[in-house]
Structure 1
Amino acid sequence: KSQEFLPPDEALEDPAQIAPGDWTLEQRRPWTGYAPPYAPDLNALETQVARFRRGDSLLVVGAFEPQEEEQPETDTRRQSMNPRIVDVRSRRNESRGERQARSNPFGRIQEEPVPFLPEEPEKTAPVQSGLFLIDTETGTHHEVLGEGPRGAFQLLVPNGRYIIGVEAFSPDDKRAWRDRHGLWQDPLVLGLAAVSDLLILKGGGNLPESLDEALPTAMPVTRIRTGESFKAAWELYGLRIGESASVRIGVDRGGEGFIRRLGQFLRVLEPDAPVVMTYEDTGPDVLGTVFRAVELNLPDLEPGEYTLTVEIELSGREPMVIARPIVIVP
């Protein structure tokens, strides 16, 4: 099927600013659509991507799962008559295998992957998966490859501005799934505090005490059933020994578009937004990374799109705010 593969226009100015959900596979401009020969059936991959700090480096975590395919309405007459559509299969100077090797991001020799969501073997066609990062300034390419249609990856890279792709590919079924957007992380200024992205985890069991414990339960899709418990986790950096924090967790109506309009890292909870939890967080005993996790339940929320927001206020410092869109389903 022929689809829109190009990123939004904003990518020309700063690719790292492409927000999650902006680089879609919709058929909005059929004259730029094409079907890659190695996977004519390309679909969206649902992901939850989060950034963490490791010294002067960026640790990217990506949990993923294929999205259920929706059959879009197509205008076959327009597609067949439009002379600007390029049929990549018409290139006769390459064999089929050469074309696939050239265009398939999974065609390279696999390195040892770092997936950390073990799955029971499934009786389905084998699926290759990977997390890819491309530095928007130098073009440097980073990747980690693995097996399976769902799971999670982690990849450590220098701080900077990147295009991220979380992708899966079934050679036998000639199907593929992907999610692409931009992300960045600046170095932490000496003497300042910082917070990681918010990571949503499955409910149940004990609270994790570290990111390594939390990752196997990261939700690739932040859809939560009414009355179902879940966990939220984050890391803090640059706290002083014994420095306590006031934490407020709340929800606002609206999803990613709501975050984008108000500025994800600059906004605070609206005055009338429901507050889920408030507490005083005791300071660390030693200098270093501080991991935090809480279990939540939102039984009174109607189904719909929301933004879960965590505000962290340190005495004498600027408050820190992180957010993650969630969807409540019946």
Structure 2
Amino acid sequence: MTYNFKDIKSLTVDELKEWLSANCEKTYRADQIENWLFCQQVSSYDQMKNIPQQTRDKLSKAFAIRSLTEVQHLVSVDGAVKWLFRTADDHYIETVLIPTNGRFSVCVSTQIGCAMNCAFCRTAKMGFIRNLEAGEILEEIIRVNDYLKETGEINADGKQAQVTNIIFMGMGEPLNNLENVHRTCCTLHNQKLFNLGRKKMTVSTSGVVPKIKELVDRNTPCCLAVSLNSTNNEARGSVMPVNKIWPIEKLLEATDEYSRRTDNYVTFEFVLMKDVTCTPAAAKELIRICAPRRVKVNAIVLNAMDDPNLEAPTQEDVDSFLEKVRAANIQITIRNPRGRDIFAACGQLAYKKQQKVANADTESA
């Protein structure tokens, strides 16, 4: 399969209008086309019944619609669902659905692989291949909506379920693909399309400081989460190479500016690692960092990784850490891991292309 034209879902409505005008078509068709793509979630131009055949023919020659192919999906014992999707240029990404009491959150990938090389993340072992287009990221959400419809899931109001929350925390560093993440958030925020509030979308970063500032400048409709994962430069730099470029001091300056300019909380994600981040000293340092700031902390116990130098703390250590932090009136929650049995939890998204293709061939034989 060749990858020789853009997914139409990657275009903004203004870009689509510009294309229509340049091709002697009515620009008001742009709103109709976007309604078909994102509200009706069609997979073919032939399904766009109020679009003239001549227009559909031109569109089909210029743009693709569906850019992902489902290769596999797995359902966890706790209800989480993970998809393996193949892109049009024959690469693979993973997407995770996390249903919780009528809320349906999706952890989306923004890149194929990742260049950040965090020690506790399996995606890092893939290396970086390319950014995903906005249309490909949106397609992840559309495919999950398809699944919810096919399985008859209902929301808390007893209506047909749809994706309610987006977490840009799958494969890749979202802020290293900010242009396409911004486009995705704007489309999701559009009241005529997905109509998701900015508090329903969270962009997570390992700490790409200049892009945090750009996120504010662009007024991207989302919340910000930062993978802090340690409280001093030595420890953080040992597990997160990004810290050697933008140390904690610079990162905190950027998050302070974000809070000041947006009047929003920042969520600090904090992976609890034995003898690294889950220690009395680390708890004390975390309190020092969080006390003067408008932040919330999401603590996550380390998942089993390939790195033999990192271990998960004991439950006793975790409880002691949380008790110390909460005693200082810091808002900290422990995130219950979802989808561990299908490798869908935080830091577990990865694949080996040759192995997956071989397995698929065996299964289809």
Common fold: TM-score over 0.5:
no
Q: Which structure ranks higher in relative contact order (CA pairs < 8 Å, sequence separation ≥ 6)?
A: 1
Which structure: greater strand fraction?
A: 1
When normalised by structure 2's length, the TM-score is 0.26
When normalised by structure 1's length, the TM-score is 0.28
